[in-house]
Each structure stands twice: as C-alpha cells, then as structure tokens.
Structure 1
Amino acid sequence: MVTLAYACAAAAVVGIGYTVLAGVLIGRFFARPVSAPTSFPPVTIVKPLHGDERALFANLASFCEQDYPGAVQFLFGVHDPADPALRTVDELRRQHPDADMTVVADARLYGPNRKISNILNMLPQARHDVLVFADSDVSVGPDYLRNVIGELQKPDVGLVTCAYRGQPDPGFWPRLSAKATNYQFLPGVVTGLALGLARPCFGQTIAMRRDTYEKIGGFTPFVRHLAEDHAIGEAVRAIGEKVVIPPFAIAHACVESSARKLIAHELRWSRTIRRINPWGHLGSALIYPFAFALLAVAFSGGALWAWPFVLAAMGARLAVQLLVDRALRQPHRDLWLLPLWDIVSFAIFVASFRSSRVVWRGFSFKVDGDGLLSAAQDE
C-alpha cells in the first residue's frame, strides 16, 4: 500500500507539471495570428443532419452569417425524409432566403458509420471544389470561413480542422460535459500539438479541396470507422499533405442531459482513443493529477505527507481553467465542478480498459485495433 501511495504521488507530481505546461501552451496557441485568404473561392459546406437538436437552428444559422464574399452552397443531408431536422432547414430557408441551399434525403447505407453514408449520398450534389464538412452540433463566428480558407491556401496544406470548446445546453450534466471539453480535451490537444505528440483531425470541421478528397479515395474507405475524422486526417498525411489547426476554437454543443448519456458519450470517446492510439491513451493519465493525489492519500492511510499533493493538484487544475477561459475569452464559471469532473473522468478512463464495446446512436459495436466497427451483442 505504501508503494502504491508513493507511485500515485509520483504520478500526481508529473501530472501537475503537465497541467502547468498545458496552461502556458494554450495561451500561446490562441495568441497566434490567423492566416488571411488570398482569394475567396466558391465553397460547399456539407452538413449531415440527424434529429432535431435543441440548438440546431442557431448552429446552422451561424454558418449562414459568414463574412465571406465568395459563393457558398449549403448542402444538407438526412437518411429519412421525415427527419425532424428538415423542419429546421425549412425555417433556415425562410430566415435566409438568399442562401444557396440543397437538401438530400437518401436512406442508402454503405457501412455502420451512418454519418459517412449520409455524406456519400450528399456529395454528388456538391457543386464547388472546396468542401467544408461540418457537424450539425457546432456554431461558428462570422470570420470562420475566412479563417479556414486562409489556412487551406497555405503551401502543402491538404486539410484544415478546428479545435473546439464546449457550449453546454441548460442543465447540470451538459455543464459537466463542457468541463471535459474545455479543461481536459482542449489543453490536451494544444499540448500534444506543441510537443509533436498529437496528430488530430476533428469532424467538427474538415475542410479540403476536391482533388485532395479524390486522392485519398473519397470517404468510402471510412464507412466502417468510428473515428472517421482521425482516419481521414491520417489518409491526407499519407499522401504527403499537411493537416493544420488554426488558432481559434469553434463551439461544440454539449447536450448530454443525464448521467447515463454523459458517461456513455465519454466512455465511447475514451474507448475509441484507446483502440486507435493505445500509448497516447495510456499517457493521457497525466491529465488526472487530482485523482492520483487522492489515491495517494487513500493508499497512505491519510498520511500528512500526501495531502499537499491534493492541494497542489487542485490548484493546478483550477489555474488551467482560468487560463483556458482567458484564452477563449469566456467567463469563469462552475469552478467547483472541476474537481468533481476530474474524479468522474478518471473513473471513465479506468473503465475504458475493461471493454472495446461502444454504443453509438443506440447501436452496439466492437471497435478493433484499427478503429473499425463491427456489430456487438449487448453485454
């Protein structure tokens, strides 16, 4: 028990150092200038839809309010012509009558990843050679498209993706979910990029030219991938083109309205990362210094020497929240939730090693070492 206590204390110390480093790096990342476009090519924004999300209209409308002088086609797709998301698109047409909108309703599936099947059904209607794929649950500022195109026009860049912050729906559980996005995921991404340890690509934004899309064989190769965004990024790198992340964050809706939904979402994410990047997933234990410090106290029987690690870890984590909030120019709120989420998140991290089963949109799948999906029986 004493050995375990010392081991957890050592892990807490390393985690505290990582946390301090992440706080410094995130400020530097978002202080960088954004590239301005040299021209404004026509763009097709591809939006796969599924269901009537609470903030769907506001999220879609933010893309219609871009400060972008080039032509923009909005391409919306659903599997079911009775999907309630289409009512939101109808309202969007009424509010933005001059916007160029195309809707595709096609039930064809090419694999277990329904989002990719939806996109494949939509793409024959895409008229422009610059394609911006963006999830339905994100909102963006008016300079979003300018910034993305500016990065895409840099030499050797084949794909632009965006970091994102959590924007919670009303309620306790969405606020807790936003903690995971803002103060664990986002610092981890920035730190991984700075140290050359991360190669991310996020489905919240994937911008590429049509020739890059064709060079990687389109999206058909990714119909069995759970983390299709990661696989697409790797495919672009494999053809010798760069994947870049500009220094701004878009907003991702945190909608998990219950403990069960939140844990299921985070467990799916954690198990997916474990399967596609096992060493990186194991190394992510460093983002839990507070949990390791508490374990040091527990294994030492409450020894006095262990308690300073708890205080130092809590102080470091709270400092990161303040630094992230400053970098994102958002107000500080719910500081008391961060230690609670750190404990819950550490438990989810440990549980991620128990199984490779994930639940996605009500279906159970197994995820293999390549991140590929296969049907699974409920456990």
Structure 2
Amino acid sequence: MDMAQALALASGALVATNLASILVAGKRLKPAGAPPPDIRKKPPVSVVVPVRGIENFSAETLERAFRLTWPSYELLFCVAHGSDPIVAEIERTAAAHPDVEARILIGDDRVSANPKLNNCVKGWQAARHDWVILADSNVLMPPDYIQHLMAGWRRNSGVVCSTPLGSRPEGFWAEVECMFLNTQQARWQYAGEALGLGFAQGKSMLWYKPMLDANGGIQALNAEIAEDAASTKLVNRLGLQVHLVSSPFEQPLGRRSGQEIWSRQCRWSRLRRVTFPGFFAPEILLGVLPPLALALAAALFSGAALLPATLLVLAAIYLPEAALALAKGWRLSLLSLPAMIVRDLLMPAIWLRAWLSGTIDWRGNTMTIGTSTCELKEAPAGS
C-alpha cells in the first residue's frame, strides 16, 4: 500500500465513523416533540431550578415550568442573592399559578468551585420528594417534561439526562451554536449512550434522591469541577449507567455573539479535557477538517484533482448531518451549512486551547480549571 492509499483509507475511516455516529444516534433518537413512552407509576417529583439574572427567554421558561402535566410536583427556585432581579419575575409567575407548589430559596452554599452546584445545594436539601430533577433555568420544558425523564429510567439507571437542543437562533453566531449543540454534541452523546458510554449532562438531570443521599448526597457532585462529570463517575462507580431521554429538550438561544460562542465552547471543552482526558483527546479528529486534510494529501500524492476530493468529503460529512437534523425536526436553515463549516473551523482551536489554558469565564465568574485544583472568583452580586 502506497502513501496515497493509506491517506485515502484514513480519510474514509473518519468519514465512516462520522456516518456511523449519525446512524446510531438517528436510531436512538425520536423526533422533536414526539410523545414520551407511557409509564404507569407517577410519583411526586421535586424540580430544583438554579437561577441567576434575567435571560433572553426567562419569562417563557418560567411559565413553562408552571405548566407541566405531571400529577404532583414542586418547583424549588434557587437564588444566591435576594437582590437578583429574577426573584421578582419568579414571584409574578408563581402568583399567576397558585395551584403549583413553588418556593424561592435564597442563600450561597459554598461546597465547590462550581457556582451552579453551590446554588443547587439548598434546593436538594429542601426537596420533599424521592425523585428530584436538577433543571437549568434556560431549558424550555415541554408539558410532558417530567414524563420524558421518568420514562427514561431503567433498572440499571443511576441518572437520566437530556442534552440541550438549540432552537430559535437570532443571527449567524446563534446558528453556529445550534450546530455545536444539535448535530454535533447531542448526536455524539446519544451515539455514545447507545453504545453503553453514557455521559451525564447538567441541563436536566433526574435523580433518585435516596440513592444519591446514600452515596454522599449532592455534595458528592463536587468531586469534579463539573457536576455532570462527577455524576457520570459516581454512577459508573456504583455499577449503574447514565441514560438519556428519548428526545432532547429545547434551549432557545436568541442572539449570540462570536465571543459568547467561543467562551462557552472553550469552557465546555476545558471541562471535558480535565474530567475525561482520555475521551477528550480524540475530539481533534471530529469535524470535516481531519478527513478533508487526509483526502487532499492523498490527492496530492496520487496526482488527482483537489476539487473533486474536497467536494466528496464535504458532501460525505455534511449531507448526513443535515439529513439527521431534518429527520428529527431540529434547526435547519439556509445558514446551517455555513454554520457547520465555521463550527468545524473553530473546533481545532477550541481543542488546543483546552490543553493550554485553564482560565475561563462563566457568566461573569472567572474560573480557573486545573487538572488538580479549581478556583472560582465570583462576579459581584447583580452583575
């Protein structure tokens, strides 16, 4: 085998792996808006929502939380500071839904360098029910939100989660964020879970409270800087698995800037690099650039034309990805292909930064994420 053939085979292997992940995820996933599986038992559930500040869709996401169709549930909104403007918004929404049990819990419990986990502690402790959902404030909960999560629980489940599904983008950079969240990250996460390599996602996490309390409680999730990474490792250590809902929940994006996308993706990338370095390292092979570079090198060695090789790789990578989005009812627009390309151009730089730098921004907080220690410098209250 000569060099051109070896390079072509390597490129083909990456393209085939990409296609396989799409096929596996496509089989595992139901289309957006599909009803959850039927379940007979519907125990009461506590929904813990850490909140901070007013976000693009706060009014709508709050309203959705009060309109869930589950027979019995309580909402526990966790706020670090009573002066936070979101408190008044929660109070207005709760007053419009007096039939739903809701409480606002204020306080700052420092159990880790993770501000979200710190904010959740009081909600976990105040939860009155055995089943507890930790739900990010920007999740757009469908009416059957709880049923989706409960239906995902199996005999060997340790936690049930959902990835965020980007929707309602405004502007090009929000389209790029959709392509990061949906056909890239959600696709690979569902493909991994289908193969027995489930990883927790902190956007929506269903726990059986007695089980977690017997293994250190919510404080046990401070073993890693990211509570979802700590959740994955704890569940695996107990011989259980992470499972995902049949169809992920929306996160409406609104407008995003390029800097916001860069900062957010660098933060997630750094967290993956610190918590699961063995799984993070091969991420450099994802996207269109590695198979495209190998295919162009093969063409150069063999004397073949470069343009057909380029078009062939682009079609082999992006057409199946677009087909997955179309089949599942995910965001797909005229800007999706350019957004995919920009995403793939950014990925190597984001991957490299994750190895070189540990200082990132999290909603105004400066977080230093090292391989042995992590530190948090919080922004002033109300900022």
TM bucket, shorter chain = 0.7 to 0.9
Distance 2:294 2:259 in 1: 25
CA contact (8 A) 2:178 2:331 kept: no
Letter paired with 2:112: G
CA contact (8 A) 1:14 1:286 kept: no
Distance 2:261 2:341 in 1: 17
- In the alignment, which residue of structure 1 is the partner of 2:360? 358
- In the alignment, which residue of structure 2 is the partner of 1:24? 23
- In the alignment, which residue of structure 2 is the partner of 1:246? 245
- Farther-moved stretch of structure 1 (302-311 vs 44-53): 302-311
Distance 2:351 2:306 in 1: 23
Letter paired with 2:242: V
- In the alignment, which residue of structure 1 is the partner of 2:217? 218
Q: Rate the CA distance shift 1:332–1:114 in 2: closer, same or farther, 3 A.
A: closer
CA contact (8 A) 2:166 2:182 kept: yes
CA contact (8 A) 1:48 1:119 kept: yes
Deviation at 1:341, TM superposition (A): 2.0
User: What do the CA deviations read for 1:68-115 (whole angstroms, capped 9, x no partner)?
Assistant: 22x110000111101111122123113323211100111332332111
Q: Rate the CA distance shift 1:184–1:161 in 2: closer, same or farther, 3 A.
A: same
2:76 alignment partner, SS class: strand
- In the alignment, which residue of structure 2 is the partner of 1:40? 42
Q: Rate the CA distance shift 1:180–1:73 in 2: closer, same or farther, 3 A.
A: same
- In the alignment, which residue of structure 1 is the partner of 2:270? 271
Distance 1:172 1:134 in 2: 27
CA contact (8 A) 2:300 2:306 kept: no
Q: Is 2:169 the counterpart of 1:188? A: no
CA contact (8 A) 1:161 1:207 kept: yes
Q: Rate the CA distance shift 1:140–1:49 in 2: closer, same or farther, 3 A.
A: same
- Farther-moved stretch of structure 1 (54-63 vs 222-231): 222-231
Deviation at 1:49, TM superposition (A): 0.3
Distance 2:102 2:203 in 1: 20
Q: Rate the CA distance shift 1:288–1:99 in 2: closer, same or farther, 3 A.
A: same
Q: Is 2:52 the counterpart of 1:53? A: no
- In the alignment, which residue of structure 1 is the partner of 2:349? 347
CA contact (8 A) 2:28 2:191 kept: no
Segments of 5+ residues of structure 1 without an aligned counterpart are: none
- In the alignment, which residue of structure 2 is the partner of 1:138? 139
Deviation at 1:175, TM superposition (A): 1.6
Distance 1:290 1:51 in 2: 38
Deviation at 1:213, TM superposition (A): 1.9
User: What do the CA deviations read for 1:198-234 (whole angstroms, capped 9, x no partner)?
Assistant: 3300111111122112122012133363321121132
Q: TM-score, normalised by structure 2?
A: 0.86
User: What do the CA deviations read for 1:262-292 (whole angstroms, capped 9, x no partner)?
Assistant: 1111111112111222221122233223454
CA contact (8 A) 1:74 1:102 kept: yes
CA contact (8 A) 2:193 2:242 kept: no
Distance 1:63 1:266 in 2: 27
Distance 1:356 1:8 in 2: 34
1:139 alignment partner, SS class: coil
Q: Runs of 4+ in structure 1 displaced over 6 angstroms?
A: 5-8, 298-303
CA contact (8 A) 1:216 1:236 kept: no
Segments of 5+ residues of structure 2 without an aligned counterpart are: 378-383
**Matched residue count:** 370
- In the alignment, which residue of structure 2 is the partner of 1:173? 173
Deviation at 1:363, TM superposition (A): 3.4
Q: Is 2:340 the counterpart of 1:338? A: yes
Letter paired with 1:205: S
- In the alignment, which residue of structure 2 is the partner of 1:320? 320
Deviation at 1:31, TM superposition (A): 4.4
Distance 2:345 2:332 in 1: 20
1:96 alignment partner, SS class: coil
1:280 alignment partner, SS class: helix
- In the alignment, which residue of structure 1 is the partner of 2:122? 121
Deviation at 1:56, TM superposition (A): 1.4
- Farther-moved stretch of structure 1 (228-237 vs 76-85): 228-237
2:229 alignment partner, SS class: helix
CA contact (8 A) 2:166 2:331 kept: no
Distance 1:212 1:193 in 2: 21
- In the alignment, which residue of structure 1 is the partner of 2:279? 280
2:132 alignment partner, SS class: strand
Letter paired with 1:41: P
Distance 2:331 2:183 in 1: 14
- Farther-moved stretch of structure 1 (212-221 vs 247-256): 247-256
Deviation at 1:324, TM superposition (A): 2.4
Letter paired with 2:308: P
Distance 2:241 2:40 in 1: 19
CA contact (8 A) 2:25 2:188 kept: no
Deviation at 1:42, TM superposition (A): 0.8
Distance 2:288 2:338 in 1: 16
Q: TM-score, normalised by structure 1?
A: 0.87
2:53 alignment partner, SS class: coil
Letter paired with 2:38: A
Deviation at 1:7, TM superposition (A): 8.0
CA contact (8 A) 2:54 2:86 kept: yes
Q: Rate the CA distance shift 1:6–1:131 in 2: closer, same or farther, 3 A.
A: same
Q: Rate the CA distance shift 1:214–1:108 in 2: closer, same or farther, 3 A.
A: closer
Percent identity of the aligned residues? 22
